[in-house]
Amino acid sequence: MCKPINEYLGLMRDYTREIVTFGGFCLMCYVYSDFKTLAKEQYSTSAQTVEVLRSVDSRLANIEHSLGK
């Protein structure tokens, strides 16, 4: 019963670099996809902010124009 466990641990010891490399690659893919999602969300938020600022600027210009008459 202990023989398969010892063989498994031996494989883990022999292929530690490969396992760590594969784990790092998987982690890199996860971080990249998460960063990509974050960048898309920030882009849409900044676009909405620009639209709000444009509407506020046009309203302010109309008020200034009305008071200037």
CA distance 64 to 68: 6
pTM for the model stands at 0.56
pLDDT in tens, 31-61: 999 999 999 999 999 999 999 999 999 999 9
Alpha-carbon span 50 to 11, nearest angstrom = 57
Confidence of residue 68 (pLDDT cuts 50, 70, 90): confident
Per-residue pLDDT tens digits for 12-21: 889 999 999 9
pLDDT value of residue 26: 96
| Amino acid occupying residue 16 | T
